[in-house]
Amino acid sequence: MPDVEEKNVLLPKFDNSYSTLPNRFYAKNLPVPVDSPELIILNEPLANYLGFESSWLKSSSCVNMFSGNSLPDGTEPLSMAYAGHQFGHWISCLGDGRAVLLGEMIATDNKRYDIQLKGSGQTLFSRTGDGRAWIGPIMREYIVSEAMNALGILTTRALAVVTTGEMVLREKAFPGGIITRVASSHIRVGTFQYFAARGDIEGLRILADYTIQRLYPEIMKKRRPYLSFLEVVVSIQAKLIAHWMSVGFIHGVMNTDNMAISGETIDYGPCAFMDDYHPDKVFSSIDKRGYYAYRKQNRAAHWNLVCLAKCLLPLLDENERKALSLAQQTVDHFSNQYQKSYNKIFGEKIGLPCPTEDNNKLIFDLLVLMESHHCDFTHTFYTLSEVHDAEGEDNAFLVLFNHSTEARRWFKKWRTQIGETDESLCFAKEIMRMRNPAIIPRNHHIDRVIHQVLESGSFKEFYLMNKALQNPYSRLNENDIFSSPPLEEDKVKYTFCGT
């Protein structure tokens, strides 16, 4: 528990540009105080980047802010209004039901970031919910969001986790927790839908202008800034989803209210990383029909972008037919942009950075092999990046496929396409090692870490796992206990959102 004397502490400097927007954009409300907050983990590198003073991070004010018990000057707590399609079903008013945006900080690179408490109590958007979170989903979000950042994937960040000293009732009583989330912005596709559904064209324009100015100011001077805005969002989402796919990540709830306009991965509820590869893999306990299965994530993103484009129609052109044509042309580029990004990243995963039809076919054939042999996604690509030239019994890559004829045939084609010299193999391996992580946040390890906290109150494994995940592209050693794929009896088949 921080205990530095308060009198010499420099308090964080907050701003809140979102609060300058009209009142219909949000509901002002304070976090609900908790009984006995305790700081469990603080992301000090991120805190330093944001400009938090080290003296403040060691003070009691730090814990009080991250728990919502007291707030520095400049914070203007609010919950953002938004709507959304959830598994295809329209809900006209969602909003932050258990999150409060404290305000924004200008980081050391002069960029603006939202500071948000999640699990901080009821808001005007909570409906029948308690606005709280239990420690399991909070730990999962911290682990996965920071792992995603280490993997080089755009994401919201985790700044701190506190326990509340209170119990949260779900299927039974669990210890409560609050996570402090950091984002370039929490504006979502669903934020635009909220105003479009109400026919609030003025609100749409205000929101679009604010979002462009904050996230993409370089396009303000374009002849058609709102069209350029849509183009940027389409492009950044295409790259994001391709990047997800390359590490076997499955979001689980790709609703329009969970697609951030900033292109950052947001809301780590029933998300998971694949173990055994299967294109139809689903982990979310509520996704009974495979709506957001692994292979469908690009389609889900495309559909979300269509929803955004519909919202922007009144801003694109006064002529409705022309506006629709402009929007259609822009969103139609998504599939091509996604496929280009996908081919390039997966090509790098097998050491072939320049996409060609032959290389793309090689990627497809490898995935088919992996599916038929139930191969672990991460371990297969990592093993390929470490493979030597020989095709003998000790070839670790071929062992994964039981030295099948199909695998040997694939390996020979791959070896031909990367080049048959030692130098070409070394070059390919250098490329692969930058794309194929040795370690990801695996479900069974996350589950074990959470259970350790529930059973013993110890966060030791939680700290160790977070530390291990910060160097995902380092080569494995025998002490990497969090890199192992699960045994059959250890597999976690379902994940939950925690609400």
Q: Are 116 and 179 in contact (CB under 8 A)?
A: no
Candidates 134, 143, 184; CA nearest to 163 is 134
- pLDDT tier for residue 6 given thresholds of 50, 70 and 90: low
Q: Is 257 a catalytic residue?
A: yes
pLDDT, residue 11, reads: 74
- pLDDT tier for residue 285 given thresholds of 50, 70 and 90: confident
- pLDDT tens, residue by residue, 458-495: 999 999 999 999 999 998 876 688 999 999 989 887 78
- pLDDT tier for residue 72 given thresholds of 50, 70 and 90: confident
Candidates 221, 222, 233; CA nearest to 185 is 233
Task: Choose the catalytic residue: 96, 257, 267, 276.
Answer: 257
Integer Cα distance of 337 and 263 in angstroms = 14
Q: Which residue has the tokens 């295409």?
A: 238
- pLDDT tens, residue by residue, 329-372: 999 999 999 999 999 999 999 999 999 999 999 999 999 999 99
How does the average pLDDT of the chain come out, rounded? 94
- pLDDT tier for residue 166 given thresholds of 50, 70 and 90: very high
**Does the structure show a pLDDT above 60 at 187?**
yes
- pLDDT tier for residue 499 given thresholds of 50, 70 and 90: low
Candidates 187, 134, 125; CA nearest to 161 is 134
Integer Cα distance of 166 and 151 in angstroms = 34
pLDDT, residue 141, reads: 97
- Residue 120 pairs in a beta bridge with 132
Give me the phi and psi of 455, to 5 degrees please: -85, -35
pLDDT, residue 1, reads: 45
Report in angstroms the alpha-carbon separations of 258 from 89, 163, 177, 301, 380: 14, 25, 21, 10, 30
Q: If you write DSSP's letter for every residue of 347-378 in order, what string do you get? A: HHHTT--S--HHHHHHHHHHHHHHHHTT-BHH
Integer Cα distance of 237 and 243 in angstroms = 10
**Cα torsion angle, 143, 145, 150, 153, sign:** positive
CA 456 to chain centre: 29
- pLDDT tier for residue 7 given thresholds of 50, 70 and 90: low
- pLDDT tens, residue by residue, 379-424: 999 999 999 877 777 799 999 999 999 999 999 999 999 998 989 9
- Of the candidate ranges 125-129, 236-240, 431-435, 460-464, the one whose mean pLDDT is the lowest: 125-129
Candidates 359, 429, 424; CA nearest to 397 is 429
pLDDT, residue 4, reads: 47
In the chain, what percentage of residues exceed pLDDT 70? Answer: 97
Integer Cα distance of 225 and 232 in angstroms = 10
**Does the structure show a pLDDT above 80 at 498?**
no
- pLDDT tier for residue 96 given thresholds of 50, 70 and 90: very high
Candidates 174, 166, 178, 177; CA nearest to 455 is 174
- Amino acid letter, residue 115: I
Q: Tell me the Ramachandran region of residue 181: left when phi exceeds 0, alpha when psi lies from -120 to 50, beta otherwise.
A: beta
Report in angstroms the alpha-carbon separations of 9 from 42, 61, 72, 186: 18, 9, 12, 29
